[in-house]
């Protein structure tokens, strides 16, 4: 009898206890409300500083990105193939063909000083192609092995994208500096030095020496290479403005070369190169975080931009519109006459339209530059408004081993952590209330369980007594 009583008590207590514990577990398993932007999630986002967006991944997997990553081996192998065939081949046809890529073509004589004189030729295309490849190799090689290591070691730039931007501007600074200096050297000895009328007098009988022809064709190759880079590398915010500028520039260079307007083309190239030197220098200082020097360089850039690209450029533009037709009156096309080159109103208007289009783009950029100038005036510092958001030094290099750099990166994250402190306090309060409620429910379950046991014992005892 006693054994049966104890079995009944244990069975009923077990069933009722299971119901109470299940009720308690439901309350206990209920998760607290999750807040967005918590500290844990913020720390994860900060750690993954180099996470690629979907657009980045799409570009990274594309054919153009593969070409961009392999610019050095592609251009290097093409150059090795070209020069090897030219120097090692015993086939005269191969030597003659490869020489067109390496040497200037269409030599027509020697001037009074003993220098070779050249005319334009369709074979100049080969020389330009070779220099497109050469410029591509020089640019990629110097960026990877000279300018990026310089940025890390001497300018303390460790962000991968910031290093790349610094290196690109270093290449631009180097090229435009050399091009401008050599252009000025040619200009000082030119018959149109300080005399714009000489640009058009006796047109089109202008022959070039080797230095000038090389200068002009290499400049042409550089701008074609700029179009290549613009489409191979990841597009930026000002992609279409830059593409329009490069197309107009290439049309002007090729057209001026074909129509013997390379004297005015020479002046335009010098104007563009001189201003771009200051722009590249200002960007380099910005990426290197020399902000005061960057602001000073930006002022020089602004003065040169206004004075040269809007002042001198428009004066040359006006001079061409006002006097070119009269000064080239002997070169106008005559029906039935055999003329090497001649001009028509359509030809003149086309060139003036291209010059005007280039000035329109320059005015658009002047508007953007004025925004940067306003930032300098109010003390915010010069920052290129055309650049992408990821052009700044906010990304840690993957293989940085310097502890100081890591500490600096952590300090940059502290601001974000401070913003989450209030949310953390609210989260702690919610967890505290949840723990209190959980404990209360547990205590209540214990009391209920004891009551159920007592009631069950009393009920079974009374039944047995009956």
Q: What is the pLDDT of residues 326-350, one digit of tens each?
A: 999 889 998 888 888 899 999 999 9
pLDDT of residue 112: 82
Q: Which helix (H) or strand (E) holds 109?
A: strand 107-110
Report d(CA 259, CA 423) in Å as an integer.
70
Does residue 127 sit within a domain? yes
Structural domain includes residue 369: yes
In the prediction, which pLDDT does 171 show?
A: 97
Q: What is the three-class DSSP state of 39? A: helix
User: What whole-number distance in Å separates Cα of residue 67 and Cα of residue 74?
Assistant: 8
- Using the Cα atoms of residue 244, residue 250, residue 256 and residue 258 in order, give the sign of their dihedral: negative
Mean per-residue pLDDT of the chain: 79
Residue 71: inside a domain: no
Asked whether the bond before 204 is cis by omega within 30 degrees of 0, the reply is yes
Could you report the per-residue pLDDT of 422-450, keeping only the tens digit for each?
Answer: 555 555 555 555 455 555 555 554 545 54
Beta partners for residue 208, in sequence order: 118
Chain Cα centroid distance, residue 2: 89
Lowest mean pLDDT among 81-85, 92-96, 443-447: 443-447
Report the pLDDT averaged over residues 215-237. 90
pLDDT of residue 420: 52
> Does 104 have pLDDT greater than 90?
yes
Instruction: Tell me the backbone φ, ψ of residue 247, rounded to 5 degrees.
Output: -65, -45
DSSP 424-460: HHHHHHHHHHHHHHHHHHHHHHHHHHHHHHHHHHHHH
- Nearest-angstrom CA–CA distance, 197 and 320: 9
CB 174 within 8 Å of CB 142 = yes
> Which tokens is 148 given?
């990026």
Structure letter (DSSP) for residue 426: H
pLDDT score at 425: 53
Residue 23 exposed, middle or buried by CB count within 10 Å (0-12, 13-18, 19+): middle
Residue 441 is assigned to a structural domain of this protein: no
pLDDT band at 454 (very low <50, low <70, confident <90, very high): very low
pLDDT at 204 over 90: no
Range of the domain at 107: 100-328+341-415
Structural domain includes residue 436: no
Residue 298 pLDDT greater than 50, yes or no: yes
Residue at 451 is within a domain: no
Overall number of domains in the chain: 1
Least confident of 145-154, 263-272, 449-458: 449-458
Q: In what order do the strands lie in the sheet with 116-118?
A: 107-110, 116-118, 208-209
For the chain, what percent of residues have pLDDT higher than 70? 70
- Which comes out higher in pLDDT, residue 388 or 353? 353
In a domain, 333, yes or no: no
Residue 306 CA to residue 362 CA, distance in Å, equals: 10
Distances (CA, A) of 151 to 40, 53, 161: 34, 26, 11
Residue 225 lies in a domain: yes
Burial (CB count within 10 angstroms: exposed 0-12, middle 13-18, buried 19+), residue 425: exposed
């Amino acid at each position: 009898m006693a054994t049966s009583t104890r079995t009944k008590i244990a069975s009923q207590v077990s069933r009722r206890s299971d119901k109470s514990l299940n009720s308690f577990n439901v309350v206990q398993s209920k998760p607290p409300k999750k807040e967005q932007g918590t500290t844990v999630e913020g720390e994860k986002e900060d750690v993954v500083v180099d996470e690629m967006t979907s657009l980045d991944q799409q570009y990274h997997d594309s054919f153009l990105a593969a070409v961009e990553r392999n610019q050095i081996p592609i251009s290097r192998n093409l150059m090795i193939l070209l020069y090897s065939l030219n120097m090692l081949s015993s086939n005269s046809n191969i030597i003659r063909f490869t020489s067109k890529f390496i040497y200037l073509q269409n030599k027509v004589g020697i001037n009074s000083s003993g220098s070779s004189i050249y005319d334009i030729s369709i074979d100049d295309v080969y020389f330009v192609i070779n220099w497109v490849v050469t410029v591509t190799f020089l640019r990629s090689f110097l960026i990877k092995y000279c300018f990026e290591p310089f940025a890390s070691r001497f300018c303390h730039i460790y962000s991968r994208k910031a290093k790349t931007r610094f290196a690109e501007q270093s290449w631009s600074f180097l090229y435009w500096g050399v091009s401008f200096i050599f252009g000025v050297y040619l200009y000082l000895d030119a018959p149109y030095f300080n005399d714009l009328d000489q640009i058009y007098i006796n047109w089109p009988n202008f022959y070039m020496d080797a230095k000038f022809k090389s200068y002009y064709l290499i400049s042409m190759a550089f701008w074609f290479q700029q179009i290549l880079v613009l489409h191979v590398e990841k597009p930026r915010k000002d992609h279409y403005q830059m593409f329009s500028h490069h197309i107009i520039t290439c049309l002007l260079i090729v057209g001026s070369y074909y129509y013997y307007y390379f004297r005015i083309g020479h002046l335009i190239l010098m104007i563009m190169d001189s201003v771009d030197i200051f722009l590249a220098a200002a960007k380099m200082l910005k990426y290197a975080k020399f902000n005061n020097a960057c602001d000073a360089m930006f002022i020089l850039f602004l003065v040169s931009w206004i004075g040269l690209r809007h002042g001198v450029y428009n004066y040359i533009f006006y001079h061409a519109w006002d006097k070119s037709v009269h000064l080239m009156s002997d070169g106008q096309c005559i029906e039935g006459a055999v003329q090497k080159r001649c001009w028509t109103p359509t030809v003149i208007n086309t060139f003036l339209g291209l010059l005007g289009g280039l000035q329109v783009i320059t005015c658009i950029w002047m508007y953007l530059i004025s925004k940067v100038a306003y930032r300098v005036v109010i003390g915010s510092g010069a920052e290129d408004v055309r650049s992408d958001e990821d052009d700044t030094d906010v990304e840690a290099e993957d293989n940085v081993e310097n502890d100081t750099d890591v500490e600096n990166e952590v300090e940059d994250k502290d601001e974000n952590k401070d913003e989450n402190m209030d949310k953390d306090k609210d989260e702690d309060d919610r967890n505290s209330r949840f723990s209190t409620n959980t404990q209360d429910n547990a205590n209540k379950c214990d009391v209920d369980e004891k009551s159920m046991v007592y009631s069950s014992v009393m009920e079974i005892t009374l039944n047995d007594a009956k």
